[in-house]
Amino acid sequence: MFSFEVIAKEGDGRVGRLVTPHGVIETPSFVPVGTLATVKAVTPEDLREIGNQVVMTNAFHLHLRLGEDLINRMGGLHRFMNWEGPLITDSGGFQIFSLGAGKEHGVGKMAPIFPDENDRGGHYGLGKKPLVKVDEHGVDFISYLDGSIHRFTPEGVIEIGRKLGTDIILVLDECTSPLHDFQYTKRAMERTHCWAQRALEAFERTSDGTQSLWGIVQGGAYKDLREESASFLSDKNFDGYAIGGSLGESKDDMHRVLDWTIPSLPEHRPRHLLGIGKVEDIFEVVRRGIDLFDCVAPTMMAHTGTFFTKESEGFQMHILNAQFKDDPRPVEEGCNCGTCRHYSRAYLRHLFLAKELLGIRLAAIHNLSFMESRMQEIRTAIKEGSFDTLSKTWNR
- Going residue by residue through the chain, which has 396 residues, state the pLDDT in tens, using 9 for 90 and above: 899 999 999 999 999 999 999 999 999 999 999 999 999 999 999 999 999 999 999 999 999 999 999 999 999 999 999 999 999 999 988 888 767 655 555 555 434 555 555 544 444 445 577 788 889 999 999 898 999 999 999 999 999 999 999 999 999 999 888 888 999 999 999 999 999 999 999 999 999 999 999 999 999 999 999 999 999 999 999 999 999 998 998 999 999 999 999 999 999 999 999 999 889 899 999 999 999 999 999 999 999 999 999 999 999 999 999 999 999 999 999 999 999 999 999 999 999 999 999 999 999 999 999 999 999 999 999 999 999 999 999 987
Spatial separation of the C-alpha atoms in residues 381 and 73, rounded to whole Å? 44
What residue spans in the chain does CATH classification 3.20.20.105 cover?
3-295
The number of residues in the chain equals 396
The whole-number pLDDT of residue 11 equals: 97
Q: Is 90 a catalytic residue?
A: yes
Q: Map residue 15 onto helix, strand or coil.
A: strand
Instruction: Determine which helix (DSSP H) or strand (DSSP E) holds 93, and give its type and residue range.
Output: helix 93-99
Q: Does domain 3-295 have CATH number 3.20.20.105?
A: yes
Which residues, including other chains, have CB under 8 Å from residue 333's CB and lie 6 or more apart? none
Instruction: Determine which helix (DSSP H) or strand (DSSP E) holds 154, and give its type and residue range.
Output: helix 154-164
| Count of CB atoms situated within 10 Å of the CB of 314 | 13
Instruction: Exactly one of 167, 281, 291, 294 is catalytic; name it.
Output: 294
Residue 28, preceding peptide bond in cis (omega within 30° of 0)? yes
Instruction: Exactly one of 90, 173, 239, 281 is catalytic; name it.
Output: 90
C-alpha distances out from residue 376 to 35, 45, 87, 136, Å: 24, 19, 20, 43
The whole-number pLDDT of residue 157 equals: 97
Sheet strand arrangement including 29-32: 29-32, 292-295, 271-273, 240-243, 212-217, 168-170, 87-90, 55-58
The whole-number pLDDT of residue 101 equals: 57
Can you list the positions of beta strands (E) in the chain? 3-10, 13-20, 23-27, 29-32, 55-58, 87-90, 132-134, 139-142, 149-152, 168-170, 212-217, 240-243, 271-273, 292-295, 306-308, 316-318
The whole-number pLDDT of residue 106 equals: 59
What are 295's strand-pairing partners?
Answer: 32
Q: In terms of DSSP H, where are the helices of 165-319?
A: 182-206, 223-234, 251-261, 279-287, 297-302
Spatial separation of the C-alpha atoms in residues 382 and 279, rounded to whole Å? 18
